[in-house]
Amino acid sequence: MEKREVHSFHKDGFILAKNALSEDTLSKVSTYFCMRLDQLALHLGYAFSSQGLNLNQKTIELESAHPGAMLTLTHSQQLSAQLVSMATDENILAAVKELLGSDVDLHPFYAIRPKPPAVQLFEVPWHQDSSYLQKGADQTPQITFWVPLMDSTVENGCLEVAVGEHNSGELKHEPHSLEEYGNSSWYLEIPSDVASSFQRQAFEIGSGSYLIFSHLTPHRSLPNRSENSRWSIDFRFARAGYFNGANSQSLPVLRKGELTQDVRDFTDAEMTGSAEPRSWVTRIERPVWVDRWR
């Protein structure tokens, strides 16, 4: 990462890394999620129309046969070897070291977003990531990586960021209200009278590129008005030894600049099938932020 990029991260609250992930890394993650969609289809008793459908085709088919199925997929997220490999890609870790130092953890908050068209619960309202953590975690140095698995455009609901607003500290948030497919919204939002003054920048990002932003950078995602899904993954890193503000543990990733044994053990357990089996979850049970913003 160049000095001017670090400077622009601190000035604007975000930075775009172009063509930083290999096709191979992305395709392993897509293949893994195709497999998860096969498992979800089996669970829902659905048979895909043909073999060899790609990630987008499977998403569209399953969501149209079982509206709300992708919300289940999102709620049932679990770290996999493919995700940890992506998060520990050398370019990502180089940026992490530059921005957070050489002792760093993978934060337990990460999200998988299949975002099919016209599911309003995949339109994430304006928020800062720290608002979803317990009080005080905004003091922890941490950054988010937002990684699209396919090209993300204004039409398919890309991310929009508030430029320079991370310098305002943690803003007030309110619970967002929406019911859809038996799910109540779990989001928080910055009130519209505050968000209306943001200087906004929408990011059309090709797959292989990603956005890095601070836990205090307000952002949201636009509606998906296309006919396709727009998959993305977001994960966070925090400086080791600081309060993570969640009710589960972080995964140690770097110590003294070196990849930890914890990361290797995690990926080995996944590859050998000794990791815990995955179950399907249809909602987030009592998230840590519910009482904080009432």
Ligand X SMILES: O=C(O)CCC(=O)C(=O)O
Measured at the CA of 62, the angle between CA 57 and CA 65, to 5 degrees, comes to: 125
Size of site (CB under 6 A) for ligand X = 9
CB of 47 to ligand X, least distance (A): 29
CB neighbourhood size of 186 (10 A) = 18
138 binds ligand X per the rule CB under 6 A = no
- Residue among 72 and 232 whose Cβ is closer to ligand X: 232
Pick from 129, 138, 165, 189: which binds ligand X (CB under 6 A)? Answer: 129
Backbone φ and ψ of 47, nearest 5°: -110, 125
CB of 21 to ligand X, least distance (A): 16
Q: Which amino acid type is present at position 213?
A: F
Q: Which two tokens stand for residue 90?
A: 């050398």
Residue nearest to ligand X (CB): 221
Range 7-66, binding ligand X (CB under 6 A): none
CB of 173 to ligand X, least distance (A): 13
Pick from 140, 207, 221, 229: which binds ligand X (CB under 6 A)? Answer: 221
- Residue among 124 and 238 whose Cβ is closer to ligand X: 124
Q: Which helix (H) or strand (E) holds 100?
A: helix 90-100
Backbone φ and ψ of 133, nearest 5°: -110, 170
Cα 189 from Cα 193, distance rounded (Å)? 11
- Residue among 88 and 142 whose Cβ is closer to ligand X: 142
250 binds ligand X per the rule CB under 6 A = no
CB of 221 to ligand X, least distance (A): 3
Q: Mask 170-209, x = binds ligand X (CB under 6 A)? A: ----------------------------------------
Pick from 36, 58, 107, 113: which binds ligand X (CB under 6 A)? Answer: 113
224 binds ligand X per the rule CB under 6 A = no
165 binds ligand X per the rule CB under 6 A = no
- Residue among 59 and 267 whose Cβ is closer to ligand X: 59
234 binds ligand X per the rule CB under 6 A = yes
In angstroms and rounded to an integer, the radius of gyration of the C-alpha atoms of the chain is: 18
CB of 219 to ligand X, least distance (A): 6
Could you tell me if 106 and 237 are in contact, meaning their C-beta atoms sit under 8 angstroms apart?
yes
Cα 120 from Cα 280, distance rounded (Å)? 21
Q: How many residues does the chain have?
A: 294
Could you tell me if 222 and 158 are in contact, meaning their C-beta atoms sit under 8 angstroms apart?
yes
CB of 279 to ligand X, least distance (A): 24
The DSSP-derived string for 259-284 is E-HHHHHHHHHHHTT-SPPP----S-
144 binds ligand X per the rule CB under 6 A = yes
End-to-end CA distance of the chain: 40
Pick from 153, 228, 232, 267: which binds ligand X (CB under 6 A)? Answer: 232
Of 215, 107, 123, 234, residue with least CA distance to 171: 215
- Residue among 235 and 270 whose Cβ is closer to ligand X: 235
Cα 25 from Cα 89, distance rounded (Å)? 8
Residues that bind ligand X (CB under 6 A): 113, 124, 129, 144, 146, 219, 221, 232, 234
